[in-house]
Amino acid sequence: MTHKRLLETETRWLTRVGKAFLSDRVVLHGEDLHRDLGDRDWIRLYLHAILGRDPGADIAGLLGSYWVSTAYPDPSIWPNHVAALAGSARSTASLSLMAGLSVSEASIYGRRPEVRALDFFYRAGQFCDSGGLLEDFVEREKASGRNLYGYGRPLAKTDERIPFMMEKAREYGFSDGRYLRMSFDVHAYLNDRYGFSMNVAALHAGLAADIGLTCQQYQLFLTPCFVTGMVPCYQDAVSRPEGSFFPVRCENVVYEGPAKRDWGNGDESLG
């Protein structure tokens, strides 16, 4: 990008995404927010903002079920734990929930593995379209050191969310899509050969692929997904004495480092 391109956007931003014409109207992707979209439920409107078009009632209903399936009000779940801890420290609701959401984009759970699961199915589909076998693609992924996101679940061998989501997939007419079937084919192979279980991230990603979401669209949709489970954990912590959410005594801190550390004589420069 040259400085000329920067100067072009110094005082104006040309966009087709939307604009608030105060005292007149608000436009979102070419439609009047209040007149044309005012009867939409929030999930459907949010998807419209992401996709630039109305996803339709069935897709909105199915994807809304993702939020329901993951609304776990359990403070032992890490994003909920962070939100509750922030509430116990008397942080504001917004900051507490944002802190919880920020840690939900982790490497081993939450947003990034779910997006990588979607990418896995798209690449698997391309591999099979070129004449390859799904089993060979799975083995190639394993051999390259890639994690097979959506398969395996810490602390549990089954996933109670899968029957719920399959019921919703049937309800909204998405129970026989190519990538959903592929998610179960991968599970059958991994379970038979390696004993891997399946978690809902694989099923969610398979459905998202059948809908045609890009990885970025999928991540944007999922980003606020855990917030429903965080809210009761935050409220519970706020309702109790300040600092009472799992306090830790010094003697309960497990330290396995050097028995004695050299902290210096205290006159070292910090500059």
Does the pLDDT of residue 265 top 70, yes or no? no
Mean pLDDT (whole number) for 235-240? 98
pLDDT bin (cut points 50, 70, 90) of residue 5 is: confident
Q: What is the pLDDT of residue 271?
A: 43
Q: Classify each residue of 21-30 as buried b or exposed e, where b means 16 or more C-beta atoms within 10 Å of its C-beta.
A: eeeeeebbbe
Residues sharing a CB contact under 8 Å with residue 109, sequence separation 6 or more, in sequence order: 78
Q: What is the pLDDT of residue 266?
A: 58
pLDDT 10s digits, 142-154? 999 989 999 987 6
pLDDT 10s digits, 8-67? 888 998 999 999 999 999 999 999 999 999 999 999 999 999 999 999 999 999 999 999
For residue 195, how many other CB atoms are within 10 A of its CB? 9
Q: 111-222, superfamily in CATH?
A: Cytochrome P450-Terp, domain 2 (1.10.230.10)
Q: State the DSSP string of 80-115.
A: HHHHHHHHHTT--HHHHHHHHHHHTB-SSSBHHHHH
d(C-alpha 230, C-alpha 84), whole Å: 8
Per the prediction, the chain carries an average pLDDT of 93
Q: What is the pLDDT of residue 154?
A: 67
Length of the chain: 271
pLDDT bin (cut points 50, 70, 90) of residue 270 is: very low
Token duo for residue 245? 């959410």
Q: Going along the chain, which residue ranges are E strands?
A: 18-21, 25-28, 31-32
Q: Where in the chain is the domain with CATH 1.10.230.10?
A: 111-222
